[in-house]
Structure 1
Amino acid sequence: MQDSIGIPACFSSSERQADDTATVTRSGQSVFMSVYRTKLAGECRLVTVTWCKNLLLHGLSVSVQGPDGDKHYRCKVELKPWYFWRKQGSKHFIVDGRMVDVVWDLKAAKFNGETEPRSDYYVAIVCEEEVVLLLGDLKKDAFRKTGCRPSLIEPMLVSRKEHVFGKKKFSTRVKFQEKGPFHDISIECNNSSISSDSSLGGFDPELQIRVDGKLAIHIKHLQWKFRGNESVRISKTSVEVYWDVHDWLFGSGPRHGMFIFKPVNSSTSAPSSSSSKLGEVCRQDESVEEDDDNAGESSRFCLFLYAWKVE
């Protein structure tokens, strides 16, 4: 059954708006983008699943990369709280002449105040009688509803981008290994320390990054160390953490700090502490579709967190 579904404001023009600074700040919406690599319509492609949330609605968008890497095929879903029947349904679109179905059941989904649901839901992407990507914990329900078999190729999570809002504390949850546990990450900028020779009106800000409640990184004198990187150990995974909070300290108007969490192989030497490294990681993520040789390595995954300060 095909639902006639409107397009959320956060996806009204193009999914690329989720990365557009002006669009995100105007709407004040949280945006979570997860990029997966899987085989679809005869090709290995990147599939982006985007969730957005503002005061009025939840939005869900699925984007499939075209053969040239630039063109994208999209399916967009609006989840208004007063339209309960639209929290379950399906839509289809055509990718290179082949039909792709997006089937979802969010009627019992538990969001727990977050943008992306925590449990009791599924979103299935189906092509040529295969479920090529399946999100959520109701997997049996998804296979029963679609009547299709699982894909022979296991999808791989390539990257995750999040836009979150707060006054001084920002939180998220992430898996650094596909079969590993979720980890709670919190980032807090503390301006309570006072320094008489500080150039920031007497304040000497500090940055604290906690993982599962434990202090992992503590940066003092942030006005001198607003860009940098450190390695931390999370469970059995080595994670390189990059930060750039220049705009928090010296910008005006709506501004965000950027944080990158990138698992690295133990055999890979840790990068030097240099502000240019953050830009290199961003460029690596943008060109990830060009590198298939190491696609199976956990080090290919990156979490990009855009932390927007709200006064």
Structure 2
Amino acid sequence: MSEQSKELLSLKNAMNQLVALMQQQCQVSQACLPSTTDAMEETNTNSPIPGNNKPEESTAAGNSGSKTTPQCSVIIVYKAKIGNNLRRVTVVWNKTLINHSLSISVEGSGGSCDPPSTCRVDLKPWPFWSKKGFKSLDIGDHRVDLYWNLRHAKFSGGGCPEPTGSYYVALVSGEEVVLLLGDLKKKAYKRTKARPSLDDAKMVLKKENVFGKRSFSSKARFDGGKREHDIVVENSISGVSGKDAEMWIRIDGIVMIHVSNLQWKFRGNETVMVEGSPVQVFWDVHDWFFGGAGMGQALFIFKPGAAAATAMATALAEMAVMEEEEENEERSESDVSWSSENEGKQQVGAEQNECGDGSSEFCFMLCAWRVEK
């Protein structure tokens, strides 16, 4: 068998795995989401949290919320040097109509044998509640301190739970800031009294969920770049059959991918060039056409500089990590608490990323929930 045939076979197997995993994820997600009518009614009510827009507009949203309201979520996984070892740090921003939370989990020193510890902070509608604080814990032989100040954090008008500025979240280990989020860096260093780490934390995965009908938008940094790219997915689906449907994927306003007869080409992949670097783009919009009434979920994967089969295998492993993170977020109940939870699936993603194939570790997943009405 030629190398090309092996590559195509590997890609086919990976796509079959993706379809099965998408069906499983969609079943779990649909159980947590309201009907289309309920979702529209709820988004028309006055929300105590600014930025909740109508479902026909593109809105950051997640499937790990309660059974009565959609829950916005952005999940980001970093690798940071803690105690001379690279460990996974997972940041989860969640928002419902009545709550807004931040969760940070740090991988244990023993990998899958030593489950990570998680800190959750509830950002309630009334001022100053838990929006500034400090927490510490021991991971093996190392102490980790978490500092945050979200009192004046700014958020976008699209409902995304992740702040856009005027905040900081700092993770300190060994008198070094190993992970720093937000733009108030000087204030963070002043408060923590720690120096910057010589090894910057590296973002390896981001997953975001959006609601919409024809347009879905997000932002992502490819391969650790400083520039944030605008990503917009548009479709022309109309009617029950979706005949002659088309799809456009734009990056920074430029149409990178155009798919005609989308109802027959609902799965596929292409390589595009972003600032001179290749990015593999995968899509599966099957449920936009055949997912039944209500909301249909589509998945878009952006993987910089990787071969097709390798990128898909890595993305599948990272999706397993995301599902586990969302389950853990549902189980978290306290306002500010450190807890240990079994997240063995994280090790699967780590093994895939450390395969040594020379490809980028970063992967961006965009889950687009299409609202029919």
Same fold (TM over 0.5): yes
Q: Deviations over 1:168-215 (max 9, x none)?
A: 2111011114243111101122124x8xxxxx5363221111112221
TM-score by length of 1: 0.81
Higher strand share: 1
1:165 corresponds to which letter in structure 2?
Answer: F
Q: Which has the higher contact order (CA 8 A, sep 6+)?
A: 2
Does structure 1 residue 32 correspond to structure 2 residue 74? yes
1:217 corresponds to which letter in structure 2?
Answer: I
How many residue pairs match? The answer is 279
Higher helix share: 2
2:364 corresponds to which letter in structure 1?
Answer: L
Change (3 A) 1:181 1:298: farther
Other-structure match for 1:69: 112
Other-structure match for 2:202: 156
Q: 1:262 aligns with which of 295, 298, 303?
A: 303
Aligned-residue CA RMSD (Å): 2.6
TM-score by length of 2: 0.68
2: CA distance between counterparts of 1:125 and 1:37? 12
Equivalent pair of 2:168/2:185 in contact (CA under 8 Å): yes
Other-structure match for 1:82: 126
Does structure 1 residue 309 correspond to structure 2 residue 370? yes
1: CA distance between counterparts of 2:291 and 2:153? 38
Other-structure match for 1:11: none
Other-structure match for 1:180: 226
Q: Secondary structure at the match of 1:153?
A: coil
Other-structure match for 1:280: 313
2: CA distance between counterparts of 1:219 and 1:60? 37
Equivalent pair of 1:294/1:300 in contact (CA under 8 Å): no
Deviation for aligned residue 1:82: 0.9
Deviation for aligned residue 1:237: 2.1
1: CA distance between counterparts of 2:155 and 2:83? 32
Query: Structure 1 stretches of 5 or more lacking a match?
Result: 1-16, 195-199
1: CA distance between counterparts of 2:229 and 2:77? 19
Does structure 1 residue 251 correspond to structure 2 residue 291? yes
Identity of aligned residues (%): 44
Other-structure match for 2:166: 120
Q: Secondary structure at the match of 1:82?
A: coil
Q: Secondary structure at the match of 1:69?
A: helix
2: CA distance between counterparts of 1:127 and 1:234? 35
Other-structure match for 2:143: 99
Does structure 1 residue 221 correspond to structure 2 residue 254? no
Deviation for aligned residue 1:105: 1.1
Other-structure match for 2:90: 48
Deviation for aligned residue 1:148: 1.0
1: CA distance between counterparts of 2:311 and 2:222? 19
1: CA distance between counterparts of 2:261 and 2:279? 23
